[in-house]
A and B are shown apart, each in its own frame.
Chain A
Amino acid sequence: MSKEKCSLTGGKEKRGELVRSLAWQHLVKQEEEEAVKKEEKEEGEDEEEEGSDSSSDDPNPEPPCMHPDLLELVVDREKCRKIRRQYRQLIYTVQQNREDIVNTASDTLSEALEEANVLFDGVSRTREAALDAQFLVLASDLGKEKAKQLNTDMNFFNPIAFCDLLLLFVGFNWVEEECKEFSDCDDSIVLSFWGMLHEEATSWMLQAETFHFIFGSFKAERSARKPRLGCHKRACKMEGSGDMPTKLRRLDVHANQETTEKEVERILGLLQTYFQKYPDTPVSYFEFVIDPNSFSRTVENIFYVSFIIRDGFARIRLDQDRLPILEPTNVSQVDDESDSYSYCRKQGVISLSLQDWKNIVSTFEISEAMIKNSY
């Protein structure tokens, strides 16, 4: 009896613990939610880019049991916001001057990095650190681009500068000549230009162009020619398929369209045979398009059926249970409708998630697809 009691009290204690821990969890959760709310709020403030102090009109006063560390952060919120603004400003300016930073040999990037370093000293929370990381990504990206442009040959060739020097060398003054294009110039000037250049250049290019050839660069390889017949056949076969190489991409697109058209026609055929078999019972849309074994096929079927509806070969309607059904359009009706709702085209969007699809399959007890795979 006493043992029982003991165990009972023990159980009570345990339960008490459980309750406490549950309460604690609840508290933590609440705190978290509040933190999230605050984050969202701050986000809004930051987007407005206004620095006004908003902690005073905070609708959720801090719960008294807040952790001291968190409290400290709340005190620093203004500072944090300032840091974030500075980071954003830094990222913005660097992005704006991207071209300059990459193309000129200035120290702007390292200066920006140093600035970020200083800013990082004041960072204590993840949010600011994330901005720092974002800036680092940008900086390293720019650094990579700069590194790519690094000329490791240690000599620069700037064609524009070269042109200027060349014209100076020949004794031209571009401004005086006032011709923007070489071709605008007098023929005699052009000739004298090339003449002078020719004279100067020959003394630097005493070496003649080397002899270029392609025969003789091959290593003798008679053995590779043995499987000739097979090769020949393959070559012939390939000729048949690919006779329009430059238009290949366009052809491909066309082929793709054709497969869509083919699928639509195939499905229309299936639908029409169904209508012929059961002229009085319209087919349930879901039973028609859903493939219980493949979600993606289902989506494709919906896509293809939409063409059939658009082209007026079938109509989609809600039955008495407000479920979509497909029914044939007979010619007389079409005529009527073209009179009454002439050119009134309706559009609808069907959304279907994986879960929806599963639900439909189980609700309608679809065990077999009406549209079978053609392949």
Chain B
Amino acid sequence: MQGSTRRAGAMTDVHRRFLQLLMTHGVLEEWEVRRLQNHCYQVHDRNATVDKLEDFINNINSVLESLYIEIKKGVTEDDGRPIYALVNLATTSVSKMATDFAENELDLFRKALELIVDSETGFASSTNILNLVDQLKGKKMRKKEAEQVLQKFVQSKWLIEKEGEFTLHGRAILEMEQFIRESYPDSVKMCNICHGLLIQGQSCETCGIRMHLPCVAKYFQSIPEPHCPHCNDYWPHDIPEVYNPEKEREAGISKSSRKSLRTRQH
């Protein structure tokens, strides 16, 4: 780690372009990140050897450190796809001003976050969120507007909507993990396997421990009879499949290529 930081004097245009692309997208899946990395090398430094992705990102992070910004790696809570997000780590007077959202919109997000964290499932229904609209701080917001604001949060990848229920996007979890742990110490849930923040996952019906779906998949991968790692009782839930990038690539290759074309069009 230290070694790579030393070496990081060589922050080149390749890195800068990569960082700019990540700033544009906010959050990207790993395969997209690899593609962008290659693209950046193609544009600026064709002959250079492509760094390993981890080193490449550490290199950038060492520079970002002093700005309290970091490229963080995580996995999506539902299917365990690896993602990278550029996140802000500090609350400063500048960060408070440089927000994309109005005061009441932020308050709506915070209320939604509260509902999501407090809920058993990690989801908050849009109805419940919209019911809190009257209590928002700042300018008054109508329910209709609040609906649009929620959509805005979905579009900018802070929330995910599934059938009228909202949960946190992986990007939001990566950025807000510390905040959530500190702000909601009583209701925050942890994964028994990776000890990370858990929003949605499975829980043992006997002892109540919780596990991320991807963690469940990995942990029970080769065990025919799944038992709770804590109380050893029978694990009653479906065991999800372990995320396999190769398989995913094969299945989604046509879809993803089309998607990337479309994103370029915008």
Q: Which residues of A contact B (CB under 8 A)?
A: 194, 208-220, 222, 225, 228-229, 231-232, 235-236, 238-239, 242-248
Most buried by B among A214, A217, A244: A214
A-B contact pairs, 21 of them (CB 8 A): A208-B24, A209-B20, A210-B23, A211-B69, A213-B95, A216-B91, A216-B92, A218-B91, A218-B96, A218-B110, A225-B183, A228-B187, A231-B114, A235-B118, A235-B119, A236-B120, A238-B131, A239-B119, A243-B125, A245-B165, A246-B164
Say yes or no: A212-B115 contact (C-beta < 8 A), given A242-B128, A245-B128.
Answer: no
| Contacting pair B100 A212 (CB below 8 A) | yes
| Contacting pair A215 B175 (CB below 8 A) | yes
Range of interface residues on B (Cβ < 8 Å) = 35 or more
Q: Which residue of A lies closest to B129 (CB)?
A: A245
| Contacting pair B186 A228 (CB below 8 A) | yes
Q: Which residue of B lies closest to A219 (CB)?
A: B96
- B156 touches A (CB below 8 Å): yes
Complexed CA–CA distance, A256 and B87 (Å): 48
Please list the 10 inter-chain residue pairs (A to B) with the smallest Cβ-Cβ separation, ordered nearest first: A246-B164, A216-B95, A217-B99, A213-B88, A245-B125, A245-B127, A208-B20, A209-B24, A245-B164, A235-B118
Complexed CA–CA distance, A219 and B96 (Å): 7
Complexed CA–CA distance, A248 and B127 (Å): 8
Complexed CA–CA distance, A228 and B114 (Å): 10
| Contacting pair B96 A208 (CB below 8 A) | no
Complexed CA–CA distance, A55 and B26 (Å): 81
- B192 touches A (CB below 8 Å): no
B154-177 interface bits toward A, Cβ cutoff 8 Å, 1 = contact, 0 = none:
001010000111000000100110
The one of B114, B115, B119, B158 in contact with A214, judged by C-beta atoms closer than 8 angstroms, is B158
Nearest CB of A to B262, in Å: 11
Complexed CA–CA distance, A211 and B24 (Å): 7
Say yes or no: A214-B86 contact (C-beta < 8 A), given A232-B187, A245-B164.
Answer: no
Could you say which residues of chain B place their CB within 8 Å of the CB of A217?
Answer: 95-96, 98-101, 106
| Contacting pair A215 B165 (CB below 8 A) | no
| Contacting pair A215 B87 (CB below 8 A) | yes
Nearest CB of A to B229, in Å: 27
- B84 touches A (CB below 8 Å): no
Within 8 A of A (CB), among B56-111: 69, 86-92, 95-96, 98-101, 106, 109-110
Q: Which residue of A lies closest to B153 (CB)?
A: A214
| Contacting pair A208 B23 (CB below 8 A) | yes
Complexed CA–CA distance, A340 and B143 (Å): 58
Could you say which residues of chain B place their CB within 8 Å of the CB of A248?
Answer: 127
The one of A225, A231, A244 in contact with B164, judged by C-beta atoms closer than 8 angstroms, is A244
Could you say which residues of chain A place their CB within 8 Å of the CB of B88?
Answer: 211, 213-216
Nearest CB of A to B39, in Å: 13
Q: Which residue of B lies closest to A225 (CB)?
A: B183
| Contacting pair A239 B92 (CB below 8 A) | no
Nearest CB of B to A348, in Å: 42
Complexed CA–CA distance, A220 and B179 (Å): 10
